[in-house]
Amino acid sequence: MGGRTGFTHRRVVDNFIHSVVKTEEDVQQRWVDARLTLACREGFTLIYDEFNRSRPEANNALLSALEERLLVLPPDSNRSEYLRVHPQFRAIFTSNPEEYTGVHKAQDALLDRMITIDIGEPDIETEKEILTARIGLSAPDALKIVHIVRAFRRKLDLTRHPSLRSCLMIGRIVKEHELAVSKDNADFRALCADVLLPRAGKRYEEGAQVLNYLLDQLPG
């Protein structure tokens, strides 16, 4: 919501009568709005990425903002403790439901105020377009990388990894070092091994065999 950062100092010296000096000093703590308060006041859209990495009690301020359209601010003598939420305010929350490390269970009260949209894995064409748009790879090279990563995951029956991030890692290094996406390029083969084989975990040797087979299917 924000916080108190620094102080505002005001000093008034009254010397209207030269023989009399009157001085008034006032020091107040200064409040600075953070993202939630600013979005609620101005009607912006708040993007709350990986919201379940925050402790549940940290999200309690959102309950009244989403339901009663009222944001309750910490007590302060210089402003109101309540902020009426702008009618255009929206919030988008993201989380990875399959990841359990470093996350907290979201409270039911917050989930009841959400519309949940499950986003599945993008299709091959979408992944290819992402690689070409973000990295600048040619469409044929991007498609080869996507096929390798997808086939590696499918043949080892890996449910979560490697993902699109693995495609982006391989694609970015291919682009920066101008590597040929070819079965005859030893550097490209080593790059794929460095990125993909750690995802195989205890099945490293099996993963190496699968990867070599997939790379051998590429054009020379």
Whether this prediction's pTM lies above 0.85 is answered by no
Residue 178 Rama label (left phi>0; alpha psi -120 to 50; beta): left
pLDDT digits (tens, 9 = 90+) for 37-68: 999 999 999 999 988 888 888 888 899 999 99
Taking only the tens place, the pLDDT of each residue in 153-171 is 888 887 666 788 999 999 9
149, pLDDT greater than 90: yes
- Count of H helices and E strands in the chain? 8, 6
| Angstrom distance (rounded) from CA 186 to CA 191 | 9
Q: Average pLDDT for residues 176-196, to the nearest whole number?
A: 95
What is the average pLDDT across 122-151? 94
Pair type for strands 82-84 and 70-72: antiparallel
Query: Residue 27: pLDDT band by 50, 70, 90 thresholds?
Result: low
Listed range (21-35, 79-93, 117-131, 159-173) with the worst mean pLDDT: 21-35
